[in-house]
Each structure stands twice: as C-alpha cells, then as structure tokens.
Chain A
Amino acid sequence: MMKMKQSFLVKVCLLSLLVILTGAQLFAQKVTGVVVDDSNTPLPGVTVVVKGTTNGTITDAEGRFSIVPGDPKNDILSFSFVGLETKEIKINGEKVINVQLKSSILEVEEVVAIGYGVVKKRDLTGSVSSVKSDDVSKATSSNAMQAMQARVPGLDIQQSDGQAGAALKMTLRGHRSLTDEANNPLILVDGVEYGSTLDINPSDIESMDILKDVSSTAIYGTRGANGVILITTKHGKAGKTKVSFSAYLSSNSPTNVPQVMYGDKEVQRLTDKANYQADAVTGNYGTSNLTTEQVLTESLADFTEIGIYQDKSYTNWLDLILQNGLTQNYEVSVAGGNDKTTFNFSLGKMYDEGLMKDDKMDRYNVKVNLDSKISNIFKVGTNMLFTYKNHDARNSSVFGQAMKMTTISHAYTAEGVLIPNPNPRYAAHCNPLLDEVDGAYKNNAESTRFFGNAYMEITPMKNLTFKTMFALDRSNIRTGIYQDYQSVARFQSPTTSYISSEYENKTGYTWDNTLNYTTKFGSTKHELTGLLGQSMKQDLYEENITQGEAGKEHYYTSLFYDLSKITTETSTSKYVKSSMMSYFGRLNYKYDEKYLLTASLRSDGSSVLAKGHKWGYFPSTAIAWRASEESFLKSTSWLNNLKARASWGISGNAIVDPYSTLTTLSNSSVYYYLGATNISGNIPSVMGNTDLTWEKTASLDFGFDFGILNNRISGSVDYYISHTSDLLYRKSAPASSVYPSVLANIGKTKGHGLEVALNTLVAKTKNFSWDVNWTYSTSTDEITELSDGVTRNISGTTGQIVGEPVLIYYDYESDGCWGVGEYATYKADWATRHPGGTIAYASAYGAPGTIKIVDRNDDGNLTDDDKKVYNRSPKHIFGMNNSFTYKDFSLSVLLYARLGGYIAYDMNTQLNYESANWGDLDYWTPTNLNAKFPSPGAASTTFASYGSALKYEKADFFKIKDITLAYNLPKNLLSRASIERLKVYGSLKNFFTFSGIDNYDPERGGSISFPLSKQVVVGVNIEF
C-alpha cells in the first residue's frame, strides 16, 4: 500500500513538472560542458536531454555539448550513454556543467543466460552454474571447454589423450542414456548449437552458463535432457574503443607416461621367461638357472642382444617417439561503439603442438559481433565467427608400436641409417620411427567453418519485443591420409602405399523467432514475463571419400594430393539430412520480489523419428522463494541471501541417426566372384523401427542459494532425482530374427545426485585477499528396466544389467597367480566340496604362474555367472579454486579430485607374450608368488581368455591442475603509456597428479597411447 501511494505521488510530481517546463521555455540561456568517462576521457556521442522534453543534443568528438534549457534554474539535464550510468543534474542556473559518467556494468546485477533470454541471478528459479570470462580466459587448451573442469559442480570433464586438438568427454549429472554420445550436453554459442570442440578464442567468451535442472533445460525440449551449456561471446560496449591483446606460450611435456620394461629389466624378464620354460619341462619350478648369454641369443646384422646388454646401449623407444611440444596463442580484439552501434572484432591464432613429431594444429579465428539500434523500434545485429584449422595427426598405432618394441635393440645402425625391423625376435615388428621419415605418413585435416547469425529485434511497443534470428553454420573439411608402404601401418602387411581423401560439407541453419512481453501490475508487485517462440533447424551432411592402394611406391611429396596414383580406387558417398521444428513458450512470474514461478512448454517435431511419433511435448515448472526478503529474516544481519528452489520437468533426447525408421539396404557393397567378375550387390542391413520416439527424462530438483556474513560465504546446494524412460538404444534382439540390434525405446534408468558450490572469502585486508571456490558433486545412476523383461544385454566386457549402474564393465575377477601345485590342491578341495561334480576349467588353466580367476559361484566352470560388475562412474568429484591477491600480485591454485569408479587400464594387458616388450608390471616368478601378473614364460592361453580381468583399477585421483601467478603492472606506470591494463602471468598446469596407479593419470580413462602433457605457460594480457 505504501509503495502504491509513493508511485502515485511521483506521477503527480512529474506531471506538474511537465506543466512548469513548457511554460518556462521563454528564459533562454545556453549551458555547455564536457562529458568524460571513468578515466576522464572525453565521451563523444552522449545524449544530453532536458528532462521531460524533446530538447536534446549529442556530445561532439571532444565530449563537448551545448544546450539551451527552457528553465535554467529548475530544468534537469539528463546525460545518457549505453553502457554507462545515466546521470541527471539540475541546472540550478549554472552555465558550465562538466559531467563524469560511470560505467554501469559494475552496478548492474549479475545476469545469467537462460534459454532464449537472460534473467537476473536473483530471479533464477532453476539450477544454473556460470563460468565468467576471467576464468574462461585462463584456459590454455585448444578447446576452451577445458575452462569448466573443476569449476562447475555436476559437470564431469575428462581429457583422455594429449594429441593436439584432442576432444574432451563431458557428462552433466551422471549418465542416464545408454549410449555415450547421447549423454553429451547441448552446447550453444550465442544461441545456436555449436558442438563440443570449441574453436573460439577464450578471451572472446563473455560467459559460460551451464543449465542443469530440467526447468532450465526443458525450453530446449528434445535436446535438453543432458544439460545445456550456453556460451555467450563478448559484444562491444559503447564508449571508448578498447583494444586488448593477449598471448601465451606453453611448453608441453609428457607427463605420467606409462612405462614399459627398459634394459636390464627386460633382460631379466627374458631370463625369467627362459627359466620358467626350462622349469616347465622338468616340472621343478625355480631350479633352472640360465645365464644371460644363454638367453640373449638373437641378433640382427647390426647388433647382437648380448652386445647391447654388455654395453648397455638399450633403446628407449618412448623417449625417441615423444618430444616436448610448444603451443603459441595470440588474440587481439577491438571493441567499442556508441549508444547506437557497438562492435567487437577479434582475431586469434593458435599453434598447438602435441607430444609427437607432426602432431600439431594451426588455428585462425576471426570474429565479428555487431549490434546496431536503428531506431527505438528496430535493432539489428550479427555474430560471425570464421575458423580455419589445419591439423596433422599421427597414426594412433605408432605409440603402441613404440611400447611393444624391445629395448634390447637399436633404432639406427652405427652409420645412422634407420633399421626398418629392429626387433631380432620378430622381423615383422617394424620401427615406430618409420612414420617420421619425411613424407612417409600424413594425416592432414584442413577445415574451415563459418558460424554466424544475424538478428533483428522489433520493439513495437513498450515491453514487447519480437526477435527473429537466422543462423548459418557451414563447414568444409578435407581429410587426406597417406601411408607409405614403408610406414608403420603398411610395413608388415599389405606392403603397399595407401591414399585416402575425404571431403565433408556440413550445413546447418537455425531460424528462431521469439516474442517477449514483460509487464508489471498491481502497482508493480506482480511482474510477469512471457515468451513465445518458434524455431526451425536443419542439418545437412555430405561426404565423399576416395581411397585405395597405390602400389609399392613412395609418394613422399605428392602424398594424398595426387589421387591418380591410386591403383584400385573405391569411392563412397553420404548424404544425411535431418530437420527439426519447435514451438515453445515460457512464463516467469514474480510476486513482491519474494516468490518466483517459472513454467515452460516446448513441443518438438523431428524428422528422424517415426511417422506419427515425431512430435513430443516437454513441460516444466519451477518455484523459488527468496526467504531473505521476508520481513522476519530481513533484520537478520548475518544472512544476506537465502533462496529456496524446486523444479520439475520433462526433457527429451533424440540421438537417432537419420533414416533409422526406414528399412534400407547397406550402403557398403558386398562382392562375390562369379564368372571371372567381382559382382557387387547391396544387401539389407537396417530394419527400420516404425515406432521410434523420444527418450524422455523427468527430473526433480531441490536447491537453495545462500549468502551469509556479508556474503563472505555464499553458495548453492542442489539435489536432484531423475527418471529416464523410453531409452534409445540398439536393442539386442535374437540374431535368429536376423537383425541383432534394432534401434528402439527400450528401458528405464534413474539417477540422483547432490551438488554443492561454495564461495568463501577467507581473508580480506587492504592488500591481501584469499578467496576459495569449492565445488562438489556426487551422483548415482542405475538401470531399472530393459525391454521385454530382458535383464541384461552384454557385449564383450560392457553392456547393461538391470539394477546396476549405467556405465559398467562386466568381467571376471583375478586373484593373483597360481602357485606351484596350488591348482592340484584347489581341484582336490573342490572335489571334496562337490562330490560327484566335474571341474570344467579350460585345458591350460591352472598352470603355475598363470592368472587365477575367481570362480565366484564355485561351480567348477568359468562362465558369465562368475563375472563381476565394475562401476565406471566416479562417485565424488571435487574442485577447489584458491585465489590469493597481494597488492598487484595474484596467485590461483586449482585442485581437482575425482573419486570412485573403475577404469580398464590398458597397460595391465600390455603383456606381449613372445616377441615384444612388456609393460613394467610385477610378474610371477617362483620367488615372487604374490605378483598380480602372470609369468612371462607361461603359455599365453589363460591370459588370452581371461587377461582382461587384470585391467580394472580404481580410478581415484587428485591433482593440482593449475597454479598461476600473475602480476598486474601498476596503473600509474601504465597510464603514461596509455595502457589500461597489463598483466603478465606464468602457470604450471597438470604438474601434480596423485593416484593409485604409477605413471598414469586416471583422468584418461584407461587408454595409454598419446600421453597427456604438463604445461609451463607464460603469458601477457594488455588492454589499451
């Protein structure tokens, strides 16, 4: 009631003012002055208006203005400029009025991007985390998504290999879909779907907002079930033109490289192996005592094994193949504008080197953002990004080849000539350095991408905005591969050169139309915002591949560029089109700044789904209560903010390949030789599912945000429960009905989890502050149903089991190795336990020094029933980001831990029985009975059947991901050189990792080729 009265009074006052002003026009008197900004720079283009009139002017290039007010005594001059605080000054008879306009940015409340709009953070009803530009710009990876790791609770980001331009794996709030790619969050840049490898200069990114709960994501309907990441790029701000430059150099060196046996250790293994084999003949283990001379009998023309042993001229193949890489990154941007038009141009260049020769990427980015207000009604703008990438990749088998290669060998002859097959024990084992011969191997991808949109905003009346945006995403990728017949891939077989050239075109367009309306009523206590929208999206993919053998010739210079060198050419092509159409609406309602309600509904139609099942409806709703605004809490001085939130909704997922609902023939030809001709045919391959429809996830989210002790401690806590149904998966059908996998909606999963984000300002004095950002999340998921009462669907060591987590390994459990005579005792005991039963282990099973597998059901047979479930998902993810500042110095330390879950560590099966090197593993000998790994002398039979059981390792790790020390040069020093800001910094990235696995970073998820790098970074940021 009070407020209503007040606003009424204001209106009356304004009205009377207006009356007075029109009457006062007669007393003409000029007022002049200069308008400057924060840094006392004159501001051109500032609108100066006599308040309440149409009498106005604009400041000139020097910021000067001149105006004749109607009433020099009582008139009020209003100075306004986009991006700056509007200032009103009563003239009071003054003839000169100089004004300083302050930047309005700092004062504006933090806003958060949500689907098709932004809201003030305080008005948010859903669960959204944000990473701001300062943190994003710390990324020194070719993929800026890296910046989110350890900073967003609930988001699990993993990097599995250290190749230049390597992709990241991302999951938000655990796994709910059964396929890996279906769990990828939707990533939008400036409102348009982009993809997960972000080729954008980190300094061009304004914010990354991660929409987690379904009330936030449901507005994206079928694409929102796995979370949405909104990336907003920087736009220009009116005012002085700002030029910024940033550059860094990063020296990348291999870290946590899995180790193989080197030198004497490998010799010892060969000796142990020979002794075991001699013992096996006599049956008396531990008696044979062969000398090194008796074991190292192999040789090549250039060396003998025993010679290498004697002069210790072993070869460390991993050292030969790995190098230190250097990454250089440069970014320049120019941003500015006036109150009508703002711009942001930027240019970026990155040169990224991996840890192997010829593993490198070059990237150029050009970005233009323009916004222009044509009139009070029309506004237009554009965001355009052009990227060029040139990427050389290495053959992934080379690293494996280097690990397998025996160290008792030489890579080069004494004359320095490369030895093509340096393994005296296995001639077909070629030298991994073959690919480093100039021109012997090339895998080059050259790509260009235009990613841009243009929009028009129409505001026909107050509070109503119509926006139409058209976005075009077009990329061309040419991937050329040349493998010389003397390269690793071709050396052993088929000993011919190979050429492949692939051209891909991707075209996507998005057309969004939205209508926004905001109103306040009931004397502004009620605030209502409505959104109505429609969107169309189409993606087209075309591909042409030409490939084939090129005979036994070197094409070191023409590589894959000359396709006429292909002797037997095959070409294939692809054409894939998918379309989507959507309608959506959202309502935000706020009452009295305390009670918030959001409701949305989206309807999506997709071409990839079956006729009659194409459309899906995705509702959501959320409520929030800003308890701290209540009068009974307002006086609580220690409590600054308290908001409780709850949301519910349904979002969808349609990771379906186009044409999955149509029965089609395989597009790869089948051949058969009849009548001296290879006749090609096409056979059925896909049975279309005419019932295919959306995968749906319904979730509940409860959360609260708080700030206490003058906001020194603030944060939010979220708990969610989600149920996913109609899971899209290749349903395992009986092979007897021909199609063993049919894409179908097959089952259900559920998940729940807790997320905590906490910001604590530990210390703050004049010169020193210490701020800690904490993130923690835990999640659990489970398959609750598979189709038709089927309870499991296993393929190899992975698959699905009802009642178990979504991501599992399903395999035997190993329990060390059999000792001498132990198996006989075991069998006798078993026979006693099972009178009349017969034991049915594999024939070679049980030999001394071979893997012991746990017969979990003790039935004397090793079958699927003896396998164990290994959960692959982490239980806890923890991040802690410390920021210390002391005067002009700042130091940040980012800690990251991922606990729980198993990985299948490939190194544990790096047991190449006969002819190659082994991983540095603790193996069984008659004097080392408790070893995990089998004797190198034992037959590989048991290992071949059950070796994968050795793989599973707990994936827990803790790492100090980033330590950055920065120095901001003092302002007074800089202003003389008209530099606004100059920061120099140095970082250590990925230097310290602690885990239960030696020489390995479990973040990689088990794979061993292409190790990760640790980086030493030095960089500079300058703003003019």
Chain B
Amino acid sequence: MKNNLYIILAAMALIMGTPSCTDYLDEDNKAGATADLAYSTVSGIQGLVSSCYSFSRAWYGKEAGLGLSEMGTDLFYYGYDNKQKSLNSYNISSVSLDGNESDNACLDQYWEAFYCAVDVCNTALKYVPLNTLIGEKVQNQYMGEAYFMRAFYYLHMVNIWGAIPYNSEPPTTIVTDPTRVPEEVVYGNILSDLDKSIAAFQTANYMIKTDGRANYWASRALKARTLLYAASWLGKNSITSNSDYSGKDLYALAKAEAEAVIGSGVASFYDNYADTWSMNNEDVTKNKEAIWGVTYSSDISTNVNCIPYRYRTEASGKQMSYNGLITRTGYTRGGSAMLLMFVSMWNNGATDLGGNGKETFVRVLGATTSTITNIKTGAVVDVAATYSPYGRGFTRYLPSVYLWKLLDKYRATDQRTNATLLEAYTIAPGLEKSSKLYPNIQDTAIYYCPLDGNSTAGKAKQAWAKGRYRIQFLNNGDIPVFTSSDPATALPTEAAKAKSDVYGDARYNSYKISGWCSYPGIKKFLDNVYNSTYPTNDISYRDAIVMRLAEMYLIKAEAELGTGNSSNALATLNELRAKRAITGKDNSLSGTVDINTILDERAIELCGEQQRWFDLKRTKTLVSRVKAYNAQGAANIKDIHYYRPIPQAQLDAVTNLSTIVGTGFWQNAGY
C-alpha cells in the first residue's frame, strides 16, 4: 500500500509539475523579423527605403496601370485582346473583380497597393530617424526619398479617386470608419512632403541621378507637376490648408519649378528623339532626357523585378498575389510589360503572307524558331534579329484616328512621327519573294497607310502595293483599319473580308486582319535590341521614365498659358519643338496657344507614357475629348468619370458608409 501511495504521489507531481514551465505557451518567431529589430540595422533600413519604390512597379510598365493612366482617352482605342475593355468604354463599376484577368480595371487592387506603398513610406519615415548607424547625411537622403515617394503615391491616388483617407503614420489599429480627406488638403500635404523632401535632399546635398533614387531635382520636377495638376484641376489659388501656398498662384510656382529643373542641367535632349527610346538607353540613370523613373533590373529571370505581395491574405494566412494584369508574370519573374501593349497580331495574323507551313513571320522562341526557309530559294534564313523586336502580338491598344492623324500631320518636319508610329513590318532579309500570295515581296510585308483607301492617292498606293505587300488604309480600301476617317465616329474594324476586292481571293478572310488585330503600333517601348537569352519578349527590363525634360517644357508652357501669357507659351513649345525637328526642317507652331495646343503637343511628345488620362482629367477635357476622339468610349462617358469609383471591397468593409456625398464614407457620385 505504501508503494501505491508513492506512485500516486509521483503521478500527482507529474500532473501538477508541468505548468511550472510558464513560458510553454509563449511565442517566439525565429524565421520572421520584427520592425524594431530589422530597421535598426544598416541593411534593414536601406532595404526599407528601397522598398518604398517597389510598389511603383505595379503601376509603371504594367498593363493595368497603363490602362488607367493612358486609355479611355483621345489617344488610344482598345484592341482585340484588351483586358480592360469596360474601363476603356466607361462601363466601369465599383465591383471588386480582384483576380479576374479577362476584364478588370483593377481599381480595387490599386487601392490596396497604393495604401500599402504609402504605409511602407510611413514606416520608413518613422524608422529612418531612429536608426543610429547610418549617419545624418544618409538619414536626410533617406527622408528625402521617403517623402518623395509618399507624395508620388498620393498624387496618383488623389487624381484617381479624389478625396481619400490620408494616412500619415503606420497604423496601430484597424480604422473601419475612415475619413475622406478633401482633395485640396491632400494636395497641400503632397506639396508639404515635397518641400520636406527638397529640404532634406538639400541638407544631404543629394542632387544627382546616378543610382535611380529620387533626388533633389526629381523632387522639384515632381513639385512642378503637382503644382500644375493642382492649378489646373482645383484652380490657380486653390490651396488653403497649407499656409505656404495659401493664396499663391500655383501656375507661377509651377513655371518657376519647371524652369529651375530645365536650368539645372540634370537632364538634356538627345539630338535624335528616337535615342530616348533606344533599348541601349533604357536605364533612367543613363538616359540623358530622364529626370526620374521606375527601374527594372536587367535580371529578368528571377524575382528581383517582382512587385511586393499583397497585405491581403487568403483564409489560410498566405499573402495574396496581385493579379496578372499588374504583375504580368506573377511572382517568379518580373519586368515591364510595356513592350507587349501596342503590338498588333503580326505573326499570328499573317497567313496571307505565309501560312500553310510556309511562314514568313514567326515569334522567336529560341533556337528552333529563329529560322525560316525561303520557299523560293530553299535558303535557311535567320530571322531572330528582325522579328524579336516586334515581340508578341498582344493587341491591347491601337492609336486613335486622332493620334494617327496628328502624328501624320508633322511627318515631314518632326522626328517624333517616325520614332513613335510603327507603320510597317518588314520581313527578315533573305526572305524576299518568299510569299506565295505576294510574289514580288521585298522587305516590306505589312504597311499601314494613313490615307483613305478610296482616295486617288490611296488607290495609287494600292496599285503599287499589289503583289508586293499587304496594305491597310486608315479607312476604306480592301482591308481598312478603321470604319471611318472621322475621329469622332471611327472604330477599329472587327472583321475582314471574305473575298478581297483587289485580289479576288480569300486571303483576308480572317478576323486577324481586321483593324483591332492589325494596326499601326507604338514603337517607343519595343525591345528594339535582340537578346538571344530572352527572345520571347514576354517581359522587358526597360526602365519606365516617369519624368523627363520635355515634360518640364510642357509644364512651363501650360503654366505660362495659365498665367495669361500665351505668347510665352508658344515660345516655350517651339523651344521644345526645335529639339524635335528633323534636321533642316521647320516644325514650329504659330498662332494662338490654347489648352488644345498644349494637349496636342503633349500627345505627340508623351503618348503612351502613362500621363494622358490625368492630363485630360485635370484640364477637364476628358469628356469632350473622348466624345470627339474616341468612339469606343463616347457613348458612355459623362462627368462622373472624372473620378474613378471607390472599390466595393472598401465600401463593404467600412462602418460609416453613407449615400450622401460629403458625409461619412461615400461613393463617388454616379457609381
């Protein structure tokens, strides 16, 4: 019995003894880091500051960012395989489509991405001053960068959605009743951030653009843009909440900033406008014209170019991915998608030129697909260098009739027409006459002609082209790109001819030869240098130039117009145009400058560079210009579209939802 007693006692001791290890239920996350610890190190704080930039890759160089910043404007129509058709045709709604990649404006995901981006900037602004290891100079430089990036993201947000919740610090609790801060206040905050950035950069004496970071001149350039946006959208004396700007003429300030940047020598013009877009000059730190841009590493085979994961998680806690329109290739490899956006279906839609196993065009995938056999001579022709720059026919966007005609107008005197429009596809040298249906084919394979195919000149062109190459006219003719030459009503054609009028055969009986699949492209963003390592061209390491010198002239001109000095504006525009003239040709403008002159010039200079929608918005010409120049959007566009809808996911999650504009958390009117 005594033994038994001992056993019981031992058992009781076991039971009672276990909880004495009081830390048994405590957690210690060994493979994850906490902010306080990570950001007190040199590499940790450096990584945090560089991460402030990473989110900009979600917008610049990406399909959905391009769609929201450049499309649904006067410059572009959507093509056959566009993934944001309802955005472009203004059937846009607040519905959060999340991962949908077939037709998604992606506003819900950008709403998220921008708030995360701002949060990383806020985290940097909190931890940089606390880091004692980096020294005061670097501290100032980092603060300058973080303020710049926060201003940069908020500028996008306020332009997209108008009044928005404004976070100035990392959150400590979840705010379910957010306040929409008026646009004027947001602008005031952005200007204040830029001023702090400029001051910090000045203290750090950080005025260079050698490494892709924001710097003193980048901040001043962005300030010029911000002032112009505020002046044109809110009014020239609109800022009241920021005392530094209250009552001041924002146009005058914008002009001063632009002039300072122009005069600084931080950027200069190439003699040849096309050099700005050469893949050899893609690096923003080396590109002479660039002031600041979003960088992509030339390593496009790993994840170093990928954007961050979402803060939103799956039910399992796994961080979610932004959708493919934003990441382009997910999270294993990243890069810019711009090279894909403006390319017509050149290789898939060219059965008239080859086909039946006797191709003239192929997409270069690798060694096995980089040669074509000439059907006449039997010679094996290496085509990679010629075809690789055309990339892949994503058929997302095509230039509007307005843009095509505008560029065509100055063809003879201005470099920018030829450097911008991709009006002809050439076949690889060695494939001459290697086309059954065009027995006299030489180098030109497809030519998009900005003429009316039924005009006399058009008919003459058609007669010349017969048997030599495929010719597609702006309108009319055998296979028109557009249904009309009237910019207000023209739509890309969506089907081709069962029987060709010119040839009497069925060579054009394919939707792939219709206007929304086959059209003149935009050259600026093509990978024009063949790279045998990555011949597929599904992604590019081209940096996205966000601000460049020409824009400073355009800001200056518009600011001059805004301050009532139209003749100075003309002089400034002509200063820029002189740089873009074909040697020995005069491309200068004359007459009275108005906002349309500025917008035309911006179209010629900046088309495709992710600014147009904001330009039309802030100048309040969006509705009139879409009605006049974009028949795909004309039917639906109305004043509500000056703001994008707040995503439904946000509305579903707030507790202060209201239906009255200006109280609680309201949806933008009309959505």
Contact = CB atoms under 8 A, between A and B. Distances in A.
Contacts of A669: 47
Given A579-B24, A790-B652, A685 B50 contact: no
Contact of B309 (A657, A668, A792): A668
A663 B650 contact: no
B670 to A, nearest CB: 10
A301 interface: yes
Interface string A723-738: 0000001111111111
Contacts of A861: 93
A606 interface: yes
A319 interface: no
B636 A843 contact: yes
A825 interface: no
A574 interface: yes
Interface stretch (B173-181, B556-564, B565-573): B173-181
Contacts of B653: 732-735, 740, 790, 793
Interface stretch (A1-9, A109-117, A275-283, A995-1003): A275-283
B123 interface: yes
A739 interface: yes
A909 to B, nearest CB: 10
Interface in B46-92: 46-51, 53-54, 57, 83, 85-86, 89, 91
A684 B119 contact: yes
A178 B314 CA distance: 12
A943 B3 CA distance: 80
Contacts of A300: 357
Contacts of B363: 427-428
A387 to B, nearest CB: 25
B503 interface: no
Interface stretch (A228-236, A290-298, A619-627, A1010-1018): A290-298
A665 B38 contact: yes
A534 interface: yes
Interface in A273-314: 274, 277-278, 280-281, 288, 290, 294, 297-301, 304
Interface residues of A, number: 127
Interface stretch (A131-139, A670-678, A759-767, A897-905): A670-678
A570 B85 contact: no
A426 interface: yes
B135 to A, nearest CB: 17
Interface stretch (B199-207, B348-356, B619-627): B348-356
A654 to B, nearest CB: 12
Given A678-B299, A736-B650, A299 B355 contact: yes
Contacts of B100: 796
B498 to A, nearest CB: 6
A180 B85 CA distance: 35
Contacts of B332: 494
B27 A661 contact: yes
A840 B91 contact: yes
B636 A179 contact: no
Contacts of A581: 18-19, 24-25
B366 A495 contact: yes
Contact of A607 (B27, B47, B313, B494): B27
A68 to B, nearest CB: 32
Q: Which of B15, B174, B210 has the most CB of A within 10 A?
A: B174
A945 B102 contact: yes
Interface stretch (B164-172, B183-191, B455-463): B164-172
A309 to B, nearest CB: 15
B293 to A, nearest CB: 11
Q: Which of B19, B309, B511, B647 has the most CB of A within 10 A?
A: B511
B517 to A, nearest CB: 10
A548 B53 contact: no
Interface stretch (B110-118, B225-233, B519-527): B110-118
Nearest to A511: B18
Nearest to A734: B653
Given A536-B24, A679-B46, A734-B175, A568 B313 contact: no
Contacts of A822: none
Contact of B655 (A377, A661, A788, A863): A788
A680 interface: yes
Q: Which of A675, A734, A789, A939 has the most CB of B within 10 A?
A: A734
Contacts of B494: 280, 939
Interface in A654-694: 657-676, 678-687
Given A277-B495, A466-B7, A685 B31 contact: no
A795 B96 contact: yes
B210 A675 contact: yes
Interface stretch (B273-281, B300-308, B425-433, B606-614): B300-308
Contact of B98 (A659, A796, A843, A862): A796
A687 B313 CA distance: 11
A732 B538 contact: no
Given A427-B362, A684-B119, A732-B649, A789 B11 contact: no
B317 interface: yes
Q: Which of B49, B53, B103, B306 has the most CB of A within 10 A?
A: B103
Binding site of B, secondary structure by majority: helix, strand, loop or mixed? loop
B317 A575 contact: no
Nearest to B1: A461
A845 B91 CA distance: 10
Contacts of A662: 27, 29, 32, 34
A98 interface: no
Nearest to A679: B50
Given A460-B4, A568-B302, A674 B213 contact: yes
B123 A683 contact: yes
B211 interface: yes
Interface string A855-874: 00000011110000000000
B174 A737 contact: yes
Interface in A385-419: none
B48 A683 contact: yes
A534 B174 CA distance: 38
B178 A737 contact: yes
Nearest to B180: A736
Contacts of A794: 96, 648-649, 652
Interface in A600-634: 605-608, 614
Contacts of A458: 7, 11
Contact of B356 (A304, A568, A792, A843): A304
Nearest to A468: B14
A515 interface: yes
B478 to A, nearest CB: 14
A127 B534 CA distance: 64
Interface in A776-794: 788-790, 792-794
Given A737-B171, A738-B171, A568 B30 contact: no
Contacts of A298: 351, 355
Interface in B528-548: 534, 536, 538
29 contacts: A274-B509, A427-B363, A428-B365, A515-B11, A607-B25, A607-B27, A664-B33, A666-B319, A670-B54, A673-B295, A674-B211, A674-B213, A678-B299, A679-B46, A679-B50, A681-B49, A732-B652, A734-B178, A738-B119, A738-B170, A738-B311, A740-B310, A788-B655, A794-B648, A843-B89, A844-B89, A864-B648, A943-B102, A944-B102
Interface of A: 178-181, 274, 277-278, 280-281, 288, 290, 294, 297-301, 304, 377, 420, 426-428, 458, 460-461, 466, 468, 492-496, 513, 515, 532, 534, 536, 548-549, 552, 567-568, 570, 573-577, 579-581, 605-608, 614, 657-676, 678-687, 729-743, 788-790, 792-796, 840-845, 861-864, 939-941, 943-945, 947
Given A460-B4, A468-B11, A795-B96, 17 more contacts: A304-B357, A427-B369, A494-B301, A494-B332, A577-B28, A674-B50, A675-B213, A678-B297, A681-B48, A685-B309, A736-B165, A737-B115, A796-B98, A843-B86, A864-B648, A943-B102, A944-B103
* Closest 8 A/B residue pairs (Cβ): A681-B47, A944-B102, A675-B211, A460-B4, A843-B89, A681-B51, A842-B91, A179-B315
